[in-house]
Amino acid sequence: MFRRFVAYYGPQKHLFIADTVCALVLAGIDLAFPIILRGLTGGLFTEGPEAIMGSLAFVATGLIAMYLVRTACKYFVSAQGHIMGARMESKMREDLFDQYERFCFSYFDRVNSGDMMSRVVNDLFDICEGAHHLPEWIIICGIEIIGAFVILFTIAPVLAGVMALITAVFVAIMVRQNLHMRAVFADNRRKISDVNSQLQDSLSGIRVVKSFANEGTERAKFRRSNEAYLGSKVAQYHVMGNYQATSALMTGALYTAIVVLGGYLIATGNMSAVDLATFALYISLFATPIETLVNSTETFQKAIAGFKRMDEVLATMPDIVDAPDARPLEVRDGAIEYRDVCFSYKDVELGGRDPQRPVIDHLTLSIRPGETIALVGPSGGGKSTTCSLLPRFYDIDAGSITIDGQDVRDVTQESLRRAIGLVQQDVYLFDGSIRENIAYGRPDATDEEIEEAARRANIHDFICSLPDGYDTVVGERGSRLSGGQKQRVAIARVFLKDPAILILDEATSALDNESEEAVQESLERLAQDRTTIIIAHRLSTIKNADEIATVERGRVVERGTHEELLARGGTYARYYRMQFEGVRAKDVPS
Ligand code: ADP
């Protein structure tokens, strides 16, 4: 892990070296100042004012040059140091995003989006704060503290020894306070994340909140988490105040020791007044670095914890990867064959299924080129799962699935997914224009092609009636469009993609009758000349399918045309009667 972390410094090595050199120069100059002053003022007592006047111009020039260099270094360390951190953060963010894009559905089934967001946003910030501040702090503070003590010991060992003792006692207290502070900070982060999720949940579900007139309950819930956060912030500021006060007390104790003990040493002829002044200058020099170093332990731990979490993601192998000899899928006619397929979800099992039985249990189904087959059956029977195995969203445990004789595991995922178009009940539109959303099916499409796709999806006239036409922004998740309009944009997207195989997973289930009719018409047009699998809630929408297969407990239990299945009087006939004769039963088809 450490090597992987250090590797991120690689592309920034020039900046890192320059930053380190500047930090060294900065620390050196800070250390040198009291010595220069000491030399100058020391001369005042030993050599007299004339000698000082002689060297003053030289010292002044030196000081000005030194402080100009210091200013430049200060700028470099704070600006370029942060820039280096930001570049590392940006690279890490890119790597994390790339890795998330590589993961398969099974990963997103088990990890929630809040956790992923917090890794990309909060953890990376913590890592990069540590990555650029820690080396710089260790160099500057380390040199300033050690250097100051070495110099003080050479000037007056007894006084320096007493100061070291006082400093050690206070550092011990501050480290303890810092540990307590860390617990308070952790509580703080938990409380703010509660506020965030409360906010996100309430705002995302605002339509449900309003429809139940539950604003009051939501406000009360939010107020509770907000107050808990305030309480934790108050506690945080108390401990931070104590910490600052201890640091101030340390400085006070050091000054008192210098004045009392230093006064005694001067009175007994063991120290000069100039040396005493030098001591005072060094106290102000090392009090701040000590505080910074003690604080840096927290930055360090946060950075390590953050990188561990990031590394965990980077080290996770995606469940599905292309075989080394994978070739692009060659779609000839679009014949699909499920042969004795078994499959179970590996991590989380939902629903009240018997855990011993696979979700897909020796399912066999062949679909002829250009045929439209409808899957019906009880909710949870495995229809959607059957469909998601075809584009290889999950890998099967046994059996095989082939398209035109090629096993889906032997072809590249990209070519496989390009050959399959998917229209689902829950349409996802990106927050951009209608044009961009349709072009998502084929980013290089011309305006004419986009319009043609929209026409075939029955949405062109509606788009033209909007003031901004194809440039209308659809809002987050397409919130400015109705369910039917969103669905038709999604269909236009698939028209443009022009896949050989189509999966319609309850594409019209959430629509009212009127929108369903318009969508249904465009779906039928879309399904023409393509091998199509339809899962439909309303049996009326699948009557025109070439064939119907009933899927129950992960198997195909019957198959035939609508008329054949009705005549057979099996499961399908029972479902059909339930829907059209108003018979109520708990096992209605989904
Ligand atoms: P249908 O489409 O026939 O309603 P599904 O294929 O959606 O059935 O579901 C079949 C079974 O698999 C159900 O028991 C369901 O709870 C479970 N299931 C579906 N999706 C997942 C998932 N992503 N992770 C775990 N279990 C799932």
Residue 293: strand, helix, or coil = helix
Q: Is residue 184 part of a domain?
A: no
Count of CA atoms in the C-beta half-sphere (13 A) of 129: 18
Q: What does the block give as tokens for 450?
A: 């986009």
Q: Exposed, middle or buried by CB within 10 Å (0-12, 13-18, 19+), for 140?
A: buried
Distance 463 CA to ligand 1 centre (A): 36
443 Cβ contact partners less than 8 Å away, ≥ 6 residues apart: none
Distance 581 CA to ligand 1 centre (A): 28
Run of H or E residues at 524: helix 513-527
pLDDT of residue 509: 67
Question: Is 582 close to ligand 1, i.e. is its CB under 6 Å away?
Answer: no
Q: Is residue 268 part of a domain?
A: no
Q: Is residue 242 part of a domain?
A: no
**What is the Cα–Cα distance from 169 to 384, expressed in whole angstroms?**
67
Compute CA distances 441 → 27, 251, 421, 479, whole Å. Answer: 58, 67, 9, 20
Distance 506 CA to ligand 1 centre (A): 14
Residue 379 CA, closest ligand 1 atom number: 4
Q: Which of 344, 346, 347, 359 to mutate to test the pocket of ligand 1 (most atoms within 8 A of CB)?
A: 359
**Using the 8-state DSSP alphabet, how is residue 359 labeled?**
S
Backbone φ, ψ for residue 317 (5° rounding)? -80, 130
Q: Which CATH number covers residue 404? A: 3.40.50.300
Question: Is 381 close to ligand 1, i.e. is its CB under 6 Å away?
Answer: yes
pLDDT of residue 299: 82
Distance 354 CA to ligand 1 centre (A): 12
Rounded to 10 degrees, what is the CA torsion of 82, 86, 88, 92? 150
Residue 433: strand, helix, or coil = strand
Q: Is residue 49 part of a domain?
A: yes
**Residue 388 is part of which domain span?**
336-419+499-580
Question: Is 348 close to ligand 1, i.e. is its CB under 6 Å away?
Answer: yes
pLDDT of residue 589: 45
**What is the Cα–Cα distance from 384 to 345, expressed in whole angstroms?**
13
510 Cβ contact partners less than 8 Å away, ≥ 6 residues apart: 425, 426, 483
Is residue 391 within 8 A of residue 419, CB to CB? The reply is no
Rounded to 10 degrees, what is the CA torsion of 406, 408, 410, 413? 130
**What is the Cα–Cα distance from 55 to 111, expressed in whole angstroms?**
70
Instruction: Calculate ∠ Cα 240-128-92, nearest 5°.
Output: 145
Report the number of distinct structural domains present in the chain: 2
Distance 351 CA to ligand 1 centre (A): 7
Question: Is 109 close to ligand 1, i.e. is its CB under 6 Å away?
Answer: yes
**What is the Cα–Cα distance from 238 to 319, expressed in whole angstroms?**
48
**Listed residues 149, 166, 182: the one ending a domain:** 149
Residue-wise burial string across 533-566, b where 16 or more C-beta atoms lie within 10 A, e elsewhere: bbbbbbbebbeebebbbbbbbbbbebbbebeebe
529 Cβ contact partners less than 8 Å away, ≥ 6 residues apart: 370
pLDDT in tens, the chain (590 residues): 778 888 888 888 898 899 889 988 988 888 887 777 777 666 656 666 676 677 777 778 878 888 899 999 999 988 988 899 899 999 999 998 999 898 888 888 877 676 777 777 778 888 888 888 888 888 888 888 888 888 888 888 888 899 889 989 998 998 888 888 878 877 877 788 778 778 877 887 887 888 778 888 899 999 999 999 999 889 988 988 898 888 889 888 988 988 898 888 888 888 888 888 888 888 777 778 887 887 787 788 778 878 888 888 888 888 888 999 999 999 998 999 999 999 998 765 444 445 567 899 999 999 999 999 999 988 888 999 999 999 999 999 999 999 999 999 999 999 999 999 988 888 888 888 999 999 987 888 899 999 999 998 888 999 999 888 999 988 777 777 888 888 889 889 998 988 999 998 887 766 666 667 777 777 888 888 899 999 987 777 776 788 999 999 999 999 998 888 889 888 888 888 877 765 444 444 44
Distance 553 CA to ligand 1 centre (A): 11
Q: Which of 112, 356, 385 to mutate to test the pocket of ligand 1 (most atoms within 8 A of CB)?
A: 385
Is residue 525 within 8 A of residue 485, CB to CB? The reply is no
Question: Is 345 close to ligand 1, i.e. is its CB under 6 Å away?
Answer: yes
Q: Is residue 39 part of a domain?
A: yes
Distance 345 CA to ligand 1 centre (A): 8
Question: Is 590 close to ligand 1, i.e. is its CB under 6 Å away?
Answer: yes
Nearest to 83 by CA among 38, 22, 128: 128
Distance 540 CA to ligand 1 centre (A): 24
Question: Is 385 close to ligand 1, i.e. is its CB under 6 Å away?
Answer: yes
**Listed residues 82, 114, 149: the one ending a domain:** 149
Residue-wise burial string across 27-43, b where 16 or more C-beta atoms lie within 10 A, e elsewhere: bbbbbbbbbebbebebb
Question: Is 388 close to ligand 1, i.e. is its CB under 6 Å away?
Answer: no
**What is the Cα–Cα distance from 495 to 478, expressed in whole angstroms?**
19
Amino acid at 379: S
Question: Is 379 close to ligand 1, i.e. is its CB under 6 Å away?
Answer: yes
Nearest to 424 by CA among 491, 482, 379, 481: 491
Q: List beta partners, residue 424.
A: 505
pLDDT of residue 442: 85
pLDDT of residue 411: 95
Q: Is residue 239 part of a domain?
A: no
Rounded to 10 degrees, what is the CA torsion of 301, 307, 310, 311? -130
**Listed residues 149, 171, 205: the one ending a domain:** 149
Strands (E), 428-517: 501-505
Distance 554 CA to ligand 1 centre (A): 10
State the CB neighbour count (10 A cutoff) for residue 215: 12
Q: Compute CA 79 distance to the chain's CA centroid, rounded to the nearest angstrom.
A: 26
Q: Is residue 363 part of a domain?
A: yes
pLDDT of residue 362: 92
Q: Which CATH number covers residue 134? A: 1.20.1560.10
Q: Is residue 463 part of a domain?
A: no
Instruction: Calculate ∠ Cα 417-423-425, nearest 5°.
Output: 135
